[in-house]
Structure 1
Amino acid sequence: MNKILFVFIAVLCSLSTGAQSTVKNLRTENLTDPVGLDVLQPRFSWQLENNKRNTLQTAYEIKVTANGRPVWNSGKTNSDSSVHVAYKGPALQSGQPYSWQVRVWDNSGKPSAWSPAASFQMALLHPADWKAEWIEPGYTEDDTMRPCPLFRKIFSSVKKVARATIYITSHGMYEAFLNGNRIGNAYLTPGWTSYKKRLQYQVYDVTDQLRQGTNALGVILGNGWYRGFIGFEKQNNFYGKDIALLLQLTITYSDGTTATIVSDGSWKTATGPITYSEIYNGETIDARKDKTGWMQPGYKDDDWAAAKTAAFTKENLLATYNEPVKAHEVLKPVKLIKTPKGETVLDFGQNLVGWVRMKVTGNAGDSVKLFHAEVLDKAGNFYTENLRSAKQKNTYVLKGGATETFFPHFTWQGFRYVKIEGYPGTPDPDNFEAVVLHSDMEPTGTFTTSNPLINQLQHNIQWGQKGNFLDVPTDCPQRDERLGWTGDAQAFFRTASFNRGVNNFFAKWLKDVAADQIDGRVPFVIPNILGNSANSAGWADVATIVPWQLYLAYGDKRTLAAQYNSMKNYVESIRKTTSNDLWNTGFHFGDWLFYRPGDDNDGRAAVTDKYLIAQCFYAHSVQLLINAAKVLDKKEDAAAYSDLLNAVKAAFLKEYMTPSGRLVSGTQTAYVLALYFDMLPENLREQAARRLVYNIKSYGNHLTTGFLGTPYLCHVLTRFGYSNVAYDLLLQETYPSWLYPVKMGATTIWERWDGIKPDGSFQTPGMNSFNHYAYGAIGDWMYRKMVGLDTYEDGPGYKHIKVMPHIGGGFKQASAALKTYYGTASAGWTVNGSTITIDVEVPANTTATIFLPATDASAITESGKPLTSVKEIKSLGNEEGYIRVQTGSGKYRFSMQSRPAK
């Protein structure tokens, strides 16, 4: 069908002339002008721009140069591909910068002008390219407080510099400086990976920071994930007890000669003002211990200890794939509070992740303590019991004299409220600001409606994502956890991929999923710091769910191929434990944090059999493996696993369903999973959907689902014609519901449906995060079903766009816009009296199938003209109460009379 549409539009557009296409937004490996790639065949993407409707690319030409000399030219290539087009030229060289341009031919037969040049620079492609040595502090470390070490190196650069590049990583976190200026704007580097197998390094262009003459390199290290406290059991030194630096600076002079500065025994080391630093507990900075000028060439370091070289491996080093953590919004306090207990507390008005930057003037030795919390208790006092053992405390000791500025370096906090102790005089809110940290993922999606509560829900979803996407998808950012829980990640992925560009973020994390698999079994958290516990259904399935959904969202076939063995190994790890094709062994979290009625008078509960859940996810993972095998042209696997899928579903029916179609667990989650994963025969699906709706209504139009049922609940209702019930759930304002926390003042998604109870008391403090994104998975239904902006499997990554709105819930308006790799795709609907208006934007080089909620095409107009007279639009007839049409690129406005919502 997509090929027919391509031909249709090509013929149609050849009959008319239009403006010449232009090319913009060039990206290499999904990044703009990246520095430090170790991908041997980088992929190029670009966008076409043409105001003429139905613009398609028919051919492209790419040229790559280095130092102005040609390296590769693709020649004119007949293809509509403009995303993830792989380089196919001679081998790229370590450290070499390259430029590339592209021009395209569109379906009017016209070539574009050459695009502006984009660039990329390669990283170190071979272990032998590393000339640097690992170095450690040369002094005897304090094993208790473990203050942050300083590393320093003086060197000369005597000629005019053409290019200077630093390659750097560490055991622990680092901040690096050249001549007193910070190198780069990333934080918490080198990020978190399965360090023993995969340690990322970063690459920085420091050409403009280098001086002719004497220069000084300075680096601070912090414990970080490598040897700091992580996990529940106060474990530290998980990856090693050392703290170490690896740095290499390559200078290319204008005359073509080069010089290399490396970490080795000539570096000097000492301790500085950061006397304590832990992720969970915070940082202590004693400004009296600051070594003023230590980052500059003229500093006297005679009393510093020489660094020790160490024989740590370099075989695990790899360049950085994903966008680093950076500082983003800066928020000022909205009020200064004096609590009933007499505490001085700042309210920043938003639960956020990052740290507070403070200005203070006082005497030497004055100590200011900042404590961080997400909520106040029902009496209005500062509440930290839900942090468990995490201190979330930053302590600053003043040098004295002039105004000083403090902020932490190797930690972060999750908070809305900050308690201040020891501040000299009365704290002025103007002297405090909250700096928001998260991985530098591009904002891609916007969603808005006529309902302010739903708009706030979307706000909470987005802030929950920002706060928990710090290099890995963490479960919470405040207590003594902050781990890459696999169940949360798979449940939320599709929502995440709308709000932010998470292609590289998850492609990197999935490599750690594969690296940490234990004989195919997937641990509960990635990177795995919890031991051999693995293969909990709905958690471990991240190994199949995220690679497939990433392929659908971005068209990233290379990542799907890279993860295929991981997917297959996971499925096989389940098969090894089954009996008669039933996965009914092992530990499973089940439908985590589902609704538990306090007084269940009729004897029922929302407890779903954990092995029923496991069997559903087993089938789903087999299905996704089949899907991947077909995309990757692995025909034998596709056939073999199709047979397995039939056996798994047959075993489910025999074990968990009565002949009439009733499930042994009569819960919402049981029916949702069985229906979403197609576990039931087609003739029994409608009755199962009715049972689901009956259950929902019996709870007063409330959901009872937990982490595994919630992401699919509204999708199933819409699929089986109950969008009105999905809207009832979405708009429910009492517990349990999505809007209950909103009505209670939440600014992020809560871990529990009732983190704060109606009487203002709290749920169990041992597990009660107020920034926990999993239940934000409802966003996916709002974007892809409510507004209806989606992609087809035959054109993933929004190459073939689907727009199928489900209007209802009393909304007057709902719209969504998404920055795809092809350009902005958007859809929205407005209800005005009996008139429905649907606006759609389709980017160039894509096609769209649009479902218009009407039964008579002759009653629909597009931009004021009868639909049947608009030549750029092809009618495909009626389907499920919609008029279905196909279009190419352009902006469209359809108007029609409303009909009852289905």
Structure 2
Amino acid sequence: MKPAAIIACFFLLFRKNGLAQLNVTNLLTEAQKDPISVDAARPRFSWQIVPEQGKTGFQSAYEIEVDTISTNNGGYVKLWSGGKVTSGQSLYIPYGGKQLKSGRSYFWKVRVWDEKGNPSPWSGFASWKMGLLSSADWKAKWISPSSNGPVPLLRATVSLNKEIKEATAYITSYGFYEARINGKKVGDAYLTPGWTSYTKRLQYQAYDVKDLLKQGENAVGVTLGNGWYRSPLGPVAPRADFYGKELALLLQIKVVYADGTERLIVSDESWKSSTGAVRFAEIYNGCIIDTRLEQKGWDKAGFDDREWKSVKVQSYSNNNLVATVNEPVRQHETFKPLKISTTPRGEKIIDFGQNLVGWVRVTVKGQAGDSIRISHAEVLDKPGNFYTENLRSAKAQNIYILNDGEKHTFEPQFTWQGFRYIKVEGIKGDLNPDDFTAIALYSDMKVTGSFSCSNPMLNQLQHNIQWGQKGNFLDVPTDCPQRDERLGWTGDAQVFSRTAAFNMNVHNFFTKWLKDVAADQYPSGSVPYVVPDIFKTGTNEVGGSAGWGDVATILPWTVYTAYGDKQVLETQYQSMKAWVDFITRQSRNNLWATGNHFGDWLFYSVNDDRDGISAITSKYLIAQCFYARSTQILLNSARLLNKKADEQFYTQLLQKIKNAYLREYVTPNGLISSDTQTAYVIALEFDMLPANLRQQAADRLVKNIKLYNYHLTTGFLGTPYLCDVLSKFNHADVAYKLLLQDTYPSWLYPIKAGATTIWERWDGIRTDGSFEEASMNSYNHYAYGAIGDWMYQNIAGIQAAEAGYKKIIIKPLIGGNLTWAEAGYDCPYGRISSKWKIEAGKLDLVVTIPPNTTADIFVPDARGKTYQKYSVQSGVHHYSRQ
């Protein structure tokens, strides 16, 4: 028998005996695929299981092996094995071997056993490389250009005299940087090194640059830009130089030759500096590129830099340097012009059909000295003219100056814009659509969620929610991407976080940002309004608002429940506790009735008082409810982390908070003093009322909604929970009516007005076609998109019964005259999907449950009145009911 036939027979026998039911895939280290800069002392490993078709795929045990490379022959040497561990856990298993070394590569594999004790094959190897673990590992020097211009160029040449085996670049800067080696861009990330609390946490990025370097002469070039470091920041009167006045670079490339010897390329006093074609680049105001001043070949070997000036060596500390864990900002979707037209004012404009964030690539030809000006806007005004008043002081304008009559293709550098429309000036004749491409820019988070249904308006709403997230998740969760703001408002991130976690994998994105929440938290425990905090001046604390500061507790809990990562609670615990303790110190008799609060920001306000019903909710009532919510999360976290004393203390405190709320704001028969939708919503969502008063509170909420003709009146803090509360308390029909309402104020009203993202205000464009006040009227502002969470959890019915979806609930909510709906979600264990349709009075439901999880599936009848429960294991499940 031939060897291949022997192998085939053995494989068949192996399967027949039930020994090959599982395979292991999607190996991640610290929630990243093959990262090359890990600074966790004990990296954690995760994986997913793929069972054979028809098998459930349960893990009963696992074994992890970690290897390193032998320096002698390049083979693998076992470094650590945890042995067989009896556990179904496949997420965040910590390395348990000897201390790991800076810059060293490691490899790991895993095998698992199924519920019958049959082993899987070993997985293939995944890899990771440790980052630079101490400041002493940095041999490079901080350097600044000789002149403090806006966009300097830095360069150095280096000769490499041996065959290169591997090369890793570690780069960071004060200001933005773009690095180039031998004329090619290093990596595909933008807006590096990202935005953090720079004095406490400055990220560096690592790149594999082996293919960019060559044996012989090499050139390393870096362009620096103002970035978040010293661009004017903040609304109304932006402040420049918030973090510092001088741009600076730190760069270190470790080259390993084929013979095992090493060479370091570092930034130091040997580098030179000059300027080039980019004359100006700021976040709000855009970019100016003058090709007449271009220094061609400046980033290549052989360039004559004798006229360049020496750099300055700076004495900055390296103690704040941290490896990057979140996904970089990258280029994504592209859009060609949907329409080119001339406005009543004679402006040449292009409509790309989608409000997006990024920039426009333009190809132009003209005469030397011609200036091409690209301006950006989200909307046109009622007559159809270009409208930029809502950008406030932000110019949002890119200017390109030609040096000859040849064709040139331009993209801006170190800036971005939020826009659907552009105005083009300086091009003679008609605009050619082939010359313009809009490019979307956002953090490269994996898309994990999808939702669609039989109602096209709801599908557009889902589209708008997703694009609002894309446009505002640029390294930090910003409030808007177009005007003179673009800040990490804490309240906005808090209310949207659950929806964000369905749409995209925001685990690393939020984990990174939460560390800056803690870093910028004030000594009192108060949390800033924005993170990174650019409002602070000296010792002045600009924060402490209910619903905004509560991001310190609510967001870590959201990340934990979505991804099952308990470490985020451990990391953030002191920050969470400090926030609750801050509120406690501000309170009197367990009532938080002090301080400045935004309240139910941008709620629907009316001039009349309908039968004693109002839309204005007491800010202190709201504060008391969020005080309780944060305390509840803190005690839950204390319980998970086995902090018994804290659990007991905050359990008692929570009861005092709720008792104080009842005494101050609720009558004995359940009337809340602020008789508003938001007051009832947050009281019920945060469990502020005794059991005997809850249903009547929900009924009062419905009465309020009916008085407003089935319209919502909630703002930022009430809206996320509105439909959730209604469906929990037997008013799903009202929840659907609110969701499907298409007149102002409602979620669908902007869609009827042509919105392609979520608006900041319910009436950003009024019914008469006029605009809300320009001082605060963004057309890409994700907060009200928090309804997406309800659509996933209720219309599709996908819910987490245990953190990380180890146990799942599927419970679709039938209503709204929908005839079908489907959603999918990539949880840490794999794909969950729920698809239902109603046809001829019968409901069909198809559910997919990923391996190594279980689920309770609640199958509704075709009218959504009753449910039948099924407890299932992983796999595809089909159900039908009349």
Global fold match (TM > 0.5): yes
TM-score with structure 1 length normalisation? Answer: 0.93
2:755 to 718, 731, 746: 746
Match of 1:71 among 72, 79, 85: 79
Among candidates 167, 192, 201, match of residue 195 of structure 2: 192
Check whether the contact 1:855–1:882 (CA below 8 A) recurs between aligned residues.
Answer: no
Distance 1:787 1:721 in 2: 17
Deviations 1:492-551 (A, max 9, x none): 000000000000000000000001111211000000011121110000000000001110
Which residue does the alignment assign to 2:814?
807
Is the 2:20–2:121 Cα contact (8 Å) retained in structure 1? no
Q: Is the 8 A contact 1:328 1:436 kept in 2?
A: yes
Aligned counterpart for 1:148 among listed residues 145, 148, 151:
151
Q: How many corresponding residue pairs?
A: 855
Q: 1:599 Cα deviation (Å)? A: 5.3
Tell me, in whole angstroms, the C-alpha distance in 2 between the residues paired with 1:24 and 1:601. Answer: 59
Partner residue of 1:436 out of 431, 440, 443: 440
Contact preservation (8 Å) 2:21, 2:55: no
- Which residue of 515, 535, 542 maps to 1:533? 542
Residue 883 of structure 1 aligns with which residue? 868
Could you tell me which residue of structure 2 aligns to residue 417 of structure 1?
A: 421
Distance in 1 between residues matched to 2:461 and 2:241, nearest whole Å? 39
Of 819, 832, 837 in structure 1, the residue corresponding to residue 826 of structure 2 is 819
| Alpha-carbon distance in 1 for matches of 2:862, 2:287 | 64
How far has the Cα of 1:855 moved from its partner?
12
Question: Greater shift after overlay, 18-27 or 294-303?
Answer: 18-27
Match of 1:865 in 2: none
Deviation of the 1:822 alpha carbon: 0.8
- How far residue 854 of structure 1 moved from its aligned partner, in angstroms, is 4.8
Residue aligning to 1:30: 31
What amino acid does structure 1 have at the position aligned with 2:659?
Answer: A
What is the aligned partner in structure 2 of residue 84 from structure 1?
92
Aligned match of 1:284:
288
Q: Which residue of 2 aligns with 1:122?
A: 130
Structure 1 residues 657-696: aligned runs within 5 Å: 657-696=666-705
The one-letter amino acid of 1:49's match is V
CA distance in 1, matches of 2:389, 2:610: 32
Q: Find 1:298's aligned residue among 302, 311, 325.
A: 302
C-alpha displacement of 1:598: 4.9
Q: Which residue of 2 aligns with 1:331?
A: 335
Q: State the Cα deviation string for residues 415-440 of structure 1 (Å, max 9, x = none).
A: 00000000144321110001100000
SS class of match (1:852): strand
Give the conservation status (yes or no) of the 8 Å contact 1:366–1:424: no
How far off is 1:305 after superposition? Answer: 0.3
Write the mapping of 1:4-403 to structure 2, written as runs, cut at 5 A. 20-50=21-51, 51-67=53-69, 68-138=76-146, 140-141=147-148, 146-232=149-235, 233-403=237-407
8 Å Cα contact 2:37-2:129 kept in structure 1: yes
2:151 and 2:880 map into 1 onto residues whose CA distance is 64
Q: What CA distance in whole angstroms lies between the structure 2 residues aligned with 1:647 and 1:53?
A: 51
1:796 match: 803
Q: Distance in 1 between matches of 2:612 and 2:226?
A: 51
State the shift of 1:828 in Å: 2.0
Letter of the 2:110 partner, please give it.
V
> For the residues of structure 1 that align with 2:663 and 2:862, how far apart are their CA atoms?
42
Corresponding residue for residue 875 of structure 1: none
Between the aligned partners of 1:830 and 1:160, the Cα distance in structure 2 is 62
Code of the residue aligned with 2:528 in structure 1: it is P
The letter for the 1-side match of 2:874 is S
Give 1:804 shift.
1.2
Q: Distance in 2 between matches of 1:16 and 1:267?
A: 66
Of 555, 579, 584 in structure 1, the residue corresponding to residue 564 of structure 2 is 555
Partner SS state of residue 742, structure 1:
helix
State the Cα distance separating 1:815 from its structure 2 match. Answer: 1.2
Task: Single out whichever of 35-44 and 346-355 deviates more from structure 2.
Answer: 35-44
| Cα separation, 1, equivalents of 2:110 and 2:815 | 45
State the TM-score, normalized to the length of structure 2: 0.96
Q: State which drifts further: 81-90 or 494-503.
A: 81-90
Whichever residue aligns with residue 38 of structure 2, its letter is: L
> Unpaired segments of 5 or more residues in structure 1?
1-13, 857-878, 898-902
Query: Residues 16 and 720 of structure 1: is their aligned pair in 2 closer, same or farther, counting only changes over 3 Å?
Result: farther
1:236-293 per-residue CA deviation (whole Å, 9 max, x = no partner) reads 1000011000000111111111111111110010011111111000000001111000
Q: 1:662 is aligned with what amino acid?
A: L
1:112 to partner: Cα distance:
1.1
SS of the aligned residue for 2:159 comes to strand
3-state secondary structure, aligned to 1:135? strand
Q: Please give the alpha-carbon distance, in whole angstroms, between the structure 1 residues aligned to 2:498 and 2:255.
A: 43
User: Does the CA contact (< 8 Å) of 2:230 and 2:242 recur in 1?
Assistant: yes
| Paired residue type of 2:61 | A
In structure 1, the residue corresponding to 2:54 is in which secondary structure? coil
Alpha-carbon distance in 2 for matches of 1:136, 1:214: 24
Aligned with 2:790 (options 778, 781, 788): 781
CA distance in 1: counterparts of 2:654 and 2:605, whole angstroms: 33
The one-letter amino acid of 1:730's match is L
Change (3 A) 1:756 1:181: same
Pair 1:786–1:601, CA change in 2 (3 A): closer
**Structural mapping, 1:766-777, within 5 Å:** 766-777=775-786
Look up the SS of the partner of 1:100 in the other structure: strand
Equivalent-residue separation in structure 1 for 2:98 and 2:505 (angstroms):
30
3-state SS of 2:265 partner = strand
Unaligned regions of 5+ residues in structure 2, if any? 1-14, 70-75
Please identify runs of 4+ aligned residues in structure 1 that moved more than 6 A: none
Q: For the residues of structure 2 that align with 1:343 and 1:423, how far apart are their CA atoms?
A: 12
Q: Show the 5 A alignment for 1:475-486.
A: 475-486=479-490
**Cα distance in 1 for residues equivalent to 2:557 and 2:874:** 26
Tell me the amino acid that sits aligned with residue 95 of structure 1: G
Instruction: Give the counterpart letter for 1:43 in structure 2.
Output: R
Distance in 2 between residues matched to 1:414 and 1:854, nearest whole Å: 45
What is the CA–CA distance in structure 2 between the aligned matches of 1:880 and 1:731, rounded to whole Å?
20
Paired residues of 1:59 and 1:77 also in contact (CA < 8 A): yes
Which residue matches 1:833? 840
Match of 2:312, as an amino acid? K
Aligned with 1:586 (options 595, 599, 613) = 595
- State the distance in 2 between where 1:821 and 1:660 align: 45
Q: 1:696-730 CA deviation, whole Å, 9 max, x = no partner?
A: 01100000000000000000001101111000000
Q: Distance in 1 between matches of 2:56 and 2:21?
A: 13
Shift of 1:747: 0.1
The change in CA–CA distance for 1:16 and 1:662 in structure 2 (over 3 A counts) is farther
1:453 to 457, 461, 470: 457
Give the letter aligned to residue 682 of structure 1: A
Residue type matched to 1:707 in 2?
A: F
Cα distance in 2 for partners of 1:678, 1:375 equals: 41
CA RMSD of aligned residues (A): 1.6
What one-letter code is carried by the residue in structure 1 that aligns with 2:200?
K
Which amino acid in structure 1 is aligned with residue 172 of structure 2? T
Counterpart CA distance in 1 for 2:135 and 2:383 is: 59
Residue 66 (structure 1) shift: 1.6
For 1:664, give the aligned amino acid.
S
Mapped partners of 1:510, 1:851: distance in 2: 35
Q: Match for 1:56: what amino acid?
A: F
Identity %: 57
Deviation for aligned residue 1:597? 2.1
Partner of 1:701: 710
Secondary structure (helix, strand or coil) at the match of 2:423 reads strand
What displacement does 1:563 show?
0.5
* Correspondence for 1:725 among 721, 734, 737: 734
Q: Structure 1, residues 22-76: CA drift from partner, whole Å, max 9, x if none? A: 1111111111111111111111111111123432101111111122221111211
Distance 2:221 2:18 in 1: 60
Higher mean Cα deviation, 334-343 or 59-68? 59-68
The amino acid that maps onto 1:81 is Q
Aligned partner of residue 37 in structure 2, secondary structure: strand
1:624 corresponds to: 633
Which one-letter code corresponds to 1:681 in the other structure?
Answer: P
Residues 53, 888 of structure 1: 8 Å contact kept: no
